[in-house]
Amino acid sequence: MKRSTFVSFQQLAELYAKGLLEEFEFSVRMCPGQGTYPAKLPTKKILPTSIKPGSSFDLAVQKVDISKPATRELRTALLRANVKV
C-alpha cells in the first residue's frame, strides 16, 4: 500500500525522534520552496544516521519529547496516510 502525506519540518522531526519512519517504512521526499510535489521517488531512504549532528534538523529532533503522545497535527497527517499512532 502506498502512503503519502505532507508534514511540516517539526512533524518530520517528531517522526524521526519517535522512530515512526522505520516502524511504518516511510520514505521521505522533500518539497522545494514552491510547495510542488517531487515527481520521482527518492533514490534512497533518508535514515536518521544521515542527519548531520548539530544541524537545525538535528536540534529539532532532540527537542521532541518522546514520552509524550504524537501531536494532534502529526496524528491528523498520518491518518491521511492510513496510519494510526
Residue 72 domain-assigned (yes or no): yes
* Res. 8: pLDDT tops 70: yes
Supply the pLDDT for residue 40.
64
Contact present, 12 and 77 (Cβ < 8 Å)? no
* Res. 76: pLDDT tops 80: yes
Strand positions, DSSP E, the chain: none
Residue 75 domain-assigned (yes or no): yes
b (16+ CB within 10 A) / e for 11-33? bbbbbbbbebbeeeebeeeeeee
Is the whole-model pTM more than 0.75? no
Domain count for the chain, please give it: 1
Q: Which of 11-15, 18-22, 53-57 has the lowest mean pLDDT?
A: 18-22
**Most confident by average pLDDT, 9-13, 19-23, 45-49:** 9-13
Mean pLDDT for 8-20 is: 87
Residue 49 domain-assigned (yes or no): yes
